[in-house]
Amino acid sequence: MNRYLKWTLISITGLAVLLFVAFKVMQSQTKKHSPEERVTFAQGDTEISVFYNRPYKKERVIFGELIPYGEVWRTGANEATTFSSNKNLRFGDQTLPAGEYTLWTVPGPEEWTLIFNNKQYGWGVGFDGKASRDPEADALQVKVPVTRLNQPVEQFTISFEEGMEKVLVLAWDQVRVAALFE
């Protein structure tokens, strides 16, 4: 009996190690096609950070085809995009409390909805391919207009612009959306 238990434990441990290695290989292969990026914004004592994965266009039609209009998108690839701020932020007449959120979007041909969600998710989609966002945990939703670009953006990009106004920008393919905040 003792010998049987020993070989069972060795087999289970070996299987666990094999599964872990397979997961890490799969993860590294996925990251090659959509590398990780962290973009930050710092002004005065306000610090904002966005962590996301950046897929490539690769001659595909992105919005309306690869990413359907009117459906929640994880706003990048792989893990859900995270957004954190050490200060309360105002988007229009709404306040996003300081904290860490996941950032989701609902793309449309003329307008997008940016969604800041209180929950953290291990991956951006479930096994069914749908966004894993829990709408009950939404902290803030902001509608922003779409600007069409003359030249396509090959790799999905999130950035910040500052000048007279502070702006969170998402751009990919021939689409740019910009959310003003203060």
Q: Check whether residue 42 and residue 103 sit in a common domain.
A: yes
Taking the C-alpha atoms of residue 36 and residue 114, their distance in angstroms, rounded to an integer, is 20
- Same domain flag for 164 and 105: yes
Give the chain's domain count: 2
Q: Is the same domain home to 56 and 99?
A: yes
| CA 84 – CA 51 distance, rounded (Å) | 9
Mean pLDDT over 58-79 rounds to 94
Contact between 69 and 63 (Cβ < 8 Å): yes
Is residue 162 scored above 90 in pLDDT? Answer: no
Lowest mean pLDDT among 43-57, 89-103, 129-143: 129-143
- Same structural domain, 86 and 1: no
Q: Which helix (H) or strand (E) holds 2?
A: helix 2-33
Whole-number pLDDT of residue 128:
74
Calculate mean pLDDT across residues 36-63: 95
Amino acid at 12: I
Whole-number pLDDT of residue 26: 60
Domain residue limits at 47? 34-181
The yes-or-no verdict on residue 30 having pLDDT over 70 is no
Residue 180: is its pLDDT beyond 90? yes
40 and 29 in a single domain? The answer is no
Q: What's this model's pTM, rounded to 2 decimal places?
A: 0.81
Kindly state whether residues 80 and 4 are assigned to the same domain: no
Give yes or no: residues 68 and 156 share one domain: yes
Average pLDDT over residues 41-46: 93
Neighbours of 9 (CB within 10 A): 10
